[in-house]
């Protein structure tokens, strides 16, 4: 209870209210909940409670939480450390990208035993293959962001790990979406699960969603314009490629905006340093690939910008779900070029509503029209108008 109070919890979220009693009752659970609903605490709190009240001598691993990315592993491990700070529960995060010292620490914990291990699939599989991981007494398995893990190609790794676990255990599967492949995975690993669905695939209503129809050359000048219109506490800009992240960050810095970048080319220590600066408010603008769409837990992000339209609606929901967390308000802008209009129309269908289209400032010149008609001849037939924003002619 001291850990809960220190973490500033006052009331349970809907997913916590529904999931925690089932976990405490020993049921297998498959839960669908959007980002920012509090699902991490929904499984950590009852796991901590059951471990504290169970017969565990600490000589083996009691619970394993498998997640898709190292960022999410670090985030959950930090959350766990806060909630269990005043208890005897031990934990460790196991993920790729660390140095030799991290490996030694992981090997020691996995061979001697830890109450809760938070891990990425590939790194855990590597440790298991070396033969020292103590899994005989494991009682709880959590798959978090299961849909993302399958999208990233971790199915075989997950099944390898599960094949090395005791058959009798409690299984908890959390996923933002419930496509057929998740149902299939659930049937293989869950035993008579209880199913919980919380607002599938819809962003919180309090997020102000707006879109700007642009030509490619207008994207960076528009972002510079938007960032200078209002003072934002924390801005998160998503790009669909590392190349765009690097280019946009360079342009922001050239124009006097203090910005950082996160993508898979950076070393883990560099990523963590950037995140620390961003969380502390020393870095007001962060440009990132989708590696961060589910792996960052910051309550004060008040603006998310999609520099590129995400590949699908689920990614859109997770990107803009980084704002308006913890009862705060937030804004999400999406820049839609001519080629991206089809993707954005699909996103609007998923949302069940049209996102408000905003006019460009007058000095930007003309912008594309939004073509919602079915495609003919295999592509968008809109006419491109000549346009060269100031400073972009030679880029």
- pLDDT by residue (tens digit) across 46-69? 999 999 998 777 678 999 999 998
What's the mean pLDDT in 202-213?
85
**Range in 22-26, 83-87, 331-335, 375-379 the model is least confident about:** 375-379
Report yes or no on 128 lying in a domain.
yes
pTM recorded for the entire structure: 0.61
Is it the case that residue 376 has pLDDT exceeding 90? no
Cα separation, 84 vs 67, whole angstroms? 20
CB atoms within 10 A of CB 247: 17
Structure tokens at 384: 């491109």
Judge whether 18 and 40 are in contact, CB under 8 Å.
no
Is it the case that residue 72 has pLDDT exceeding 90? no
329 and 357 belong to one structural domain: yes
**Range in 56-65, 132-141, 194-203, 304-313 the model is least confident about:** 194-203
What's the mean pLDDT in 343-372?
89
Q: Which has more pLDDT, 201 or 77?
A: 77
Q: What is the pLDDT of residue 295?
A: 57
Q: What is the pLDDT of residue 294?
A: 59
**Residue 11 binned pLDDT confidence (cut-offs 50, 70, 90):** confident
Report yes or no on 301 lying in a domain.
yes
Q: What is the pLDDT of residue 60?
A: 84
244 and 266 belong to one structural domain: yes
Q: What is the pLDDT of residue 15?
A: 87
212 and 331 belong to one structural domain: yes
| Alpha carbon separation from 136 to 92, 112, 141, 219, 303 (Å, rounded) | 18, 12, 13, 54, 46
Of the ranges 103-107, 128-132, 297-301, the best mean pLDDT one: 128-132
Report yes or no on 371 lying in a domain.
no
Report yes or no on 393 lying in a domain.
no
Q: What is the pLDDT of residue 383?
A: 39
Report yes or no on 388 lying in a domain.
no
Report yes or no on 338 lying in a domain.
yes
Is it the case that residue 387 has pLDDT exceeding 50? no
Judge whether 64 and 117 are in contact, CB under 8 Å.
yes
172 and 298 belong to one structural domain: no
192 and 290 belong to one structural domain: no
Single out the residue in 148, 176, 198 at which a domain terminates. 198
Helix axes 180-189, 155-163, angle to 10 degrees: 10
Single out the residue in 198, 220, 243 at which a domain terminates. 198
Report yes or no on 380 lying in a domain.
no
42 and 78 belong to one structural domain: yes
Q: What is the pLDDT of residue 180?
A: 86
Domain count, the chain: 2
10 and 141 belong to one structural domain: yes
Single out the residue in 198, 233, 256 at which a domain terminates. 198
279 and 317 belong to one structural domain: yes
Helix axes 121-129, 100-112, angle to 10 degrees: 70
Give me the CATH number covering residue 236. 3.40.50.300
The set of long-range contacts for 370-375, using a CB threshold of 8 Å and a minimum separation of 24, is 370/213, 370/336, 370/341, 371/341, 372/345, 375/342
pLDDT exceeding 90 applies to what percent of the chain?
51
Q: Return the residue matching tokens 């993707």.
A: 343
Q: What is the pLDDT of residue 393?
A: 38
Report yes or no on 387 lying in a domain.
no
**Residue 164 binned pLDDT confidence (cut-offs 50, 70, 90):** very high
98 and 61 belong to one structural domain: yes
User: Nearest CA to 285 among 301, 270, 273?
Assistant: 301
Is it the case that residue 110 has pLDDT exceeding 70? yes
Domain coverage including residue 219: 207-364
155 and 261 belong to one structural domain: no
216 and 150 belong to one structural domain: no
17 and 113 belong to one structural domain: yes
Is it the case that residue 395 has pLDDT exceeding 60? no
Structure tokens at 90: 């031990």
């Amino acid at each position: 209870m001291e850990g809960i109070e220190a973490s500033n919890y006052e009331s349970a979220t809907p997913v916590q209210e529904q999931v925690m009693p089932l976990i405490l009752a020993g049921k297998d659970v498959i839960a669908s909940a959007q980002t920012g609903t509090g699902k991490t605490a929904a499984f950590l709190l009852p796991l901590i409670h059951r471990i504290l009240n169970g017969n565990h001598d600490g000589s083996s691993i009691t619970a394993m939480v498998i997640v898709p990315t190292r960022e999410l592993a670090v985030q959950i491990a930090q959350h766990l450390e806060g909630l269990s700070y005043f208890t005897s529960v031990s934990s460790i995060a196991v993920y790729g990208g660390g140095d030799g010292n991290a490996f030694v620490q992981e090997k020691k914990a996995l061979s001697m035993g830890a109450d809760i291990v938070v891990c990425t699939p590939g790194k855990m599989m590597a440790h298991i293959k070396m033969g020292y991981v103590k899994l005989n007494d494991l009682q709880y398995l959590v798959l978090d962001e299961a849909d993302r893990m399958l999208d990233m190609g971790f199915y075989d790794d997950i099944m390898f790990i599960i094949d090395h676990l005791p058959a009798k255990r409690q299984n908890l599967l959390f996923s933002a979406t419930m496509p057929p492949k998740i149902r299939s995975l659930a049937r293989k690993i869950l035993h008579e699960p209880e199913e919980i669905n919380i607002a599938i695939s819809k962003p919180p209503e309090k997020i102000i969603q707006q879109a700007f129809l642009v030509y490619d050359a207008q994207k960076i000048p528009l972002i510079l314009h938007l960032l200078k219109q209002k003072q934002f506490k924390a801005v998160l800009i998503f790009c669909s490629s590392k190349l765009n992240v690097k280019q946009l960050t360079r342009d922001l810095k050239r124009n006097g905006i203090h910005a950082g970048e996160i993508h898979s080319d950076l070393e883990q220590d560099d990523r963590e340093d950037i995140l620390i600066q961003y969380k502390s408010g020393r870095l007001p603008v962060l440009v990132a690939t989708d590696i961060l769409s589910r792996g960052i837990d910051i309550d004060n992000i008040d603006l998310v910008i999609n520099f590129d339209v995400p590949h699908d609606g689920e990614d859109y929901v997770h990107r803009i779900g980084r704002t308006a967390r913890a009862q705060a308000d937030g804004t999400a802008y999406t820049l839609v070029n001519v080629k991206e209009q089809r993707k954005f129309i699909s996103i609007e269908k998923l949302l069940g509503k049209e996102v408000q289209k905003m006019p460009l400032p007058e000095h930007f010149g003309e912008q594309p029209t939004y073509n919602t008609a079915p495609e003919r001849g295999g592509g968008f037939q809109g006419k491109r108008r000549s346009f060269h924003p100031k400073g972009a002619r030679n880029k």
